[in-house]
Amino acid sequence: MPAMLAKMKGAAKTVVASNNVVSATREPRKTLSVRKKKKEEILEKGLRGNPFILACANGRLDIVKSELLADEQYPVNEKFGEIQGDFPLHYAAYYGHKDIAEALANNPCDVFACNNYHENALHSACEAGHFEMVDFLTTWVREKPLRTYEERKKWRKYYEKREENKKHQLDAGIAEVDVVESDEEVEPEWTEENADEAEERLINQESNHRATPIMRAAKKGHYDVINLLCQQGADNTIVNSYGDSALT
CATH number for position 122: 1.25.40.20
- Residue 139's domain spans which residues? 39-149+189-231
- Determine the pLDDT at residue 146: 56
Number of structural domains the chain divides into: 1
Evaluate whether 134 touches 123 at the Cβ level (below 8 Å).
no
- Determine the pLDDT at residue 239: 96
- Determine the pLDDT at residue 91: 94
Instruction: Name all contacts of 201-204 with Cβ < 8 Å and 24+ positions apart.
Output: 201/112, 201/141, 202/111, 202/112, 202/120, 202/122, 202/137, 202/138, 202/141, 203/122, 203/138, 203/229, 203/232, 203/233, 203/234, 203/235, 204/234, 204/235, 204/238
pTM of the full structure: 0.68
Q: What is the mean pLDDT of each run of 10 residues along the chain (248 residues)?
A: 52 46 40 57 54 88 81 74 85 96 85 94 97 96 69 71 77 65 62 91 96 97 97 94 94
Task: Identify whether 10 is part of a domain.
Answer: no
Contacts of 153 (CB under 8 A, 6+ apart): 108
Task: Identify whether 160 is part of a domain.
Answer: no
Task: Identify whether 161 is part of a domain.
Answer: no
- Determine the pLDDT at residue 143: 85
Task: Identify whether 197 is part of a domain.
Answer: yes
- Determine the pLDDT at residue 28: 47
Task: Identify whether 45 is part of a domain.
Answer: yes
Task: Identify whether 50 is part of a domain.
Answer: yes
Task: Identify whether 224 is part of a domain.
Answer: yes
